[in-house]
C-alpha cells in the first residue's frame, strides 16, 4: 500500500492537469454564491484526510462521502486506511460524524471512489486495497454500511460494515478506483481497473442472493484494444437498464473510449460510442458520464478536449473547453444543468466548482465557487446537491490550521 496522498496514476495526472490549467485556461468570473465550511479534515486515528470521489446527499439534507486516508493505521496503511463520513443536517447546521473507519484487513482500505446511497438507505462504496490475501494485503472490496442494528446511546454512532465482494484471485474484478451505482432492485454495478478475461478491467454486477449474500457477475471484460481498457469512471444507468461508462486507455487511438452496455433478456452487449484521438476531442476520460432526459451523454477528458456531449445519433462535440483536465465525476440535475469540479483554476487557481447551463442554443460555463484559504483546494470530488439548490463539494488538500482537505456547502 502507498504512503502518497492519492493513487499514483491519479496523483500524476492531477499534478499535470493543475500545471496545464494554470498555464492555459482563463477562468470566468465567479458567480455570487457563498461557501460555508462544514468540516476541515485533520487525519489521525479519528478523522479522515484527502477526501475525493462521489458525494451523496439524502432527502433530509445529510451529506455523505469518504476519504482514502486518515483513520486507523492498519496493516500497510501508512497515513491511515481511510473512512466514510456523514455531515448531519440539523436545521441548517451540520454535525460531522465519522461513520466507519477502515482497518486495512478483510474490511478493506483506501476508499477512493466516494459513496452512493442505495434505495434501502444503506451506503455503498469500494476500497482500492484490503479485503484479504494477495495484492500486498488485498485487491479491494465492495462494501455496504448500515445503521447499527441495536439502539446506540452515543450521540454519534458508527455504522456496521458488510463486505459484499472481495477479490480472491482469478479473472474477477479488482482495482476499484471508482464507486458504484445501485438500482431499485438492489443490484450494484461498477467498473474495475484490473481483472477480467484480459486483465484490462471489467464492468461487474453484484446481485442480491438472499441472506445478505451477493452474486458477482462480470458483465464485460475489456480487451485493452479497440473497446478500451483500464476504466476508472463511475457508471450511469438509464430507465431500460443500459449502462454507460468510459475506459481510460485503449480504443482505436489508444486514448480511451466511451461505451454503452445494451441490456436485453439475454444479458449485455457492448457498444462502442466513441474512441478518443487525443486531438481537439481530448483523451483519457477518467471521470463519469451522465445522461439528460433527451438521451444526450456528457463527460469530460483528463487530457485536452473538455466537457463533451454525445447525442443519441452518435455525434460527438466538445461543448466547454474551459474544463481542462477534469478527472472527478460530474453530475447533472433534473433541469439538465451539469456540475463538476476542476483541479486548478478558479479565482485563486486552487480549483473550482462549476455549472454548465444550456440556453439559446449555446452552453455557458459558470464558476459557482472558487477554493482557497480556509476552504482548501485541488478538489477531486463531484458536486452533490440537495432539494433546496445547495451544492456540496470537497477539497483534497489544504484548509486552515494544517487541514488535510475540507467539506464545503455552497449556497445560492
pLDDT digits (tens, 9 = 90+) for 346-402: 988 999 999 999 999 999 999 999 999 999 999 999 999 999 999 999 999 999 889
Q: Is residue 142 part of a domain?
A: no
Domain count across the chain: 1
* Rounded Cα distance, 146 and 412, in Å: 32
Compute the average pLDDT of residues 171-176.
92
User: Could you give the 3-state DSSP secondary structure of residue 407?
Assistant: strand
How much is the CA Rg of the chain, to the nearest whole Å?
Answer: 20
For 207-224, the pLDDT digits (tens) are 999 998 999 999 999 999
Do 115 and 82 touch, CB atoms closer than 8 A? no
Q: Is residue 35 part of a domain?
A: yes
Give the position of cell 458520464. 289
Is the residue at 18 inside a domain?
A: yes
CA dist 107 and 138 (Å) reads 10
In this structure, is residue 269 part of a structural domain? no
pLDDT in tens, 43-101: 988 899 999 999 999 999 999 999 999 998 766 687 899 999 999 999 989 999 999 99
Residue 32 lies in a domain: yes
Within a domain: residue 323?
no
Residue 251 lies in a domain: no
Q: Quote the pLDDT of residue 25.
A: 32
Q: What percent of the chain has pLDDT over 70?
A: 89
Lowest mean pLDDT among 22-36, 87-101, 255-269, 302-316: 22-36
CA–CA separation, 266 vs 315, rounded Å?
28
> Which whole number is the average pLDDT over 313-340?
94
CA distance 99 to 80: 15
Residue 12 has pLDDT above 80, yes or no: no
Name residue 143's beta-bridge partners. 125, 163
For residue 361, the enclosing domain spans: 1-51+329-412
Burial 79-109 (b: 16+ CB within 10 A, else e): bbbbbbbbbebeeeebebbbbbbbbbbebbb
Helix (H, G, I), strand (E, B) or coil at 106: coil
How much is the pLDDT for 216?
A: 96
Q: What pLDDT, on the 0 to 100 scale, is given for residue 6? A: 42
Residue 168 confidence (pLDDT): 81
Cell of 61: 439534507
Residue 325 banded pLDDT, cuts 50, 70, 90: confident
**Rounded to whole angstroms, how far apart are CA atoms 204 and 268?**
11
Residue 1's pLDDT band (boundaries 50, 70, 90)?
Answer: very low
Which is more confident, 45 or 17? 45
Assigned domain for 288 exists: no
Q: Which three cell numbers stand for residue 354?
A: 462549476
Neighbour count for residue 290 (Cβ, 10 Å): 22
**How far is residue 181's CA from residue 185's CA, in Å, rounded to a whole number?**
12
Distance between CA atoms of 16 and 326, rounded to whole angstroms? 11
* pLDDT per residue as tens digits for the range 113-134: 999 999 999 999 999 998 876 6
pTM for this one? 0.91
Mean pLDDT, all residues of the chain: 89
Is residue 5 over pLDDT 70? no
Predicted local confidence at residue 22, as pLDDT? 31
**Pick from 386, 381, 385, 282: which is nearest to 340 by CA?**
381
Amino acid at each position: 500500500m502507498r504512503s502518497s496522498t492519492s493513487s499514483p496514476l491519479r496523483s500524476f495526472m492531477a499534478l499535470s492537469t493543475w500545471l496545464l490549467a494554470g498555464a492555459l485556461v482563463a477562468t470566468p468570473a465567479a458567480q455570487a454564491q457563498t461557501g460555508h465550511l462544514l468540516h476541515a479534515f485533520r487525519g489521525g486515528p479519528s478523522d479522515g484526510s484527502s477526501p475525493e470521489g462521489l458525494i451523496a446527499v439524502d432527502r433530509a439534507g445529510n451529506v455523505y462521502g469518504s476519504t482514502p486516508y486518515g483513520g486507523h493505521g492498519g496493516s500497510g496503511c501508512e497515513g491511515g486506511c481511510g473512512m466514510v463520513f456523514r455531515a448531519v443536517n440539523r436545521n441548517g447546521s451540520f454535525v460531522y460524524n465519522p461513520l466507519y473507519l477502515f482497518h486495512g484487513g478483510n474490511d478493506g482500505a483506501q476508499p477512493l471512489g466516494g459513496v452512493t446511497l442505495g434505495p434501502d438507505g444503506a451506503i455503498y462504496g469500494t476500497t482500492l486495497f484490503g479485503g484479504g490475501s494477495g495484492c500486498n494485503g488485498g485487491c479491494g472490496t465492495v462494501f455496504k454500511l448500515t445503521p447499527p442494528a441495536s439502539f446506540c446511546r452515543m450521540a454519534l454512532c458508527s455504522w456496521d460494515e458488510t463486505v459484499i465482494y472481495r477479490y480472491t484471485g482469478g479473472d474477477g474484478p479488482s482495482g476499484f478506483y471508482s464507486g458504484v451505482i445501485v438500482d431499485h432492485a438492489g443490484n450494484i454495478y461498477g467498473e474495475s481497473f484490473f481483472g477480467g478475461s484480459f486483465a484490462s478491467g471489467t464492468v461487474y454486477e453484484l446481485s442480491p442472493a438472499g441472506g445478505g449474500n451477493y452474486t458477482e457477475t462480470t458483465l464485460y471484460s475489456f480487451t485493452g484494444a479497440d473497446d478500451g481498457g483500464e476504466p476508472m469512471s463511475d457508471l450511469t444507468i438509464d430507465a431500460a437498464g443500459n449502462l454507460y461508462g468510459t475506459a481510460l486507455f485503449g480504443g482505436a487511438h489508444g486514448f480511451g473510449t466511451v461505451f454503452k452496455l445494451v441490456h436485453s433478456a439475454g444479458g449485455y452487449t457492448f457498444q462502442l460510442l466513441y474512441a478518443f484521438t487525443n486531438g481537439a476531442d481530448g483523451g483519457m476520460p477518467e471521470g463519469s458520464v451522465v445522461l439528460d432526459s433527451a438521451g444526450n451523454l456528457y463527460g469530460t477528458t483528463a487530457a485536452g478536449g473538455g466537457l463533451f456531449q454525445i447525442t443519441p445519433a452518435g455525434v460527438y462535440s466538445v461543448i466547454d473547453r474551459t474544463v481542462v483536465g477534469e478527472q472527478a465525476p460530474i453530475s447533472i440535475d433534473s433541469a439538465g444543468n451539469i456540475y463538476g469540479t476542476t483541479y486548478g483554476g478558479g479565482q485563486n487557481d486552487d480549483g473550482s466548482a462549476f455549472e454548465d447551463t444550456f440556453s439559446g442554443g449555446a452552453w455557458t460555463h459558470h464558476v459557482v465557487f472558487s477554493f482557497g484559504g480556509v476552504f482548501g483546494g485541488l478538489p477531486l470530488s463531484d458536486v452533490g446537491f440537495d432539494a433546496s439548490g445547495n451544492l456540496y463539494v470537497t477539497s483534497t488538500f489544504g484548509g486552515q490550521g494544517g487541514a488535510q482537505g475540507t467539506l464545503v456547502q455552497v449556497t445560492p
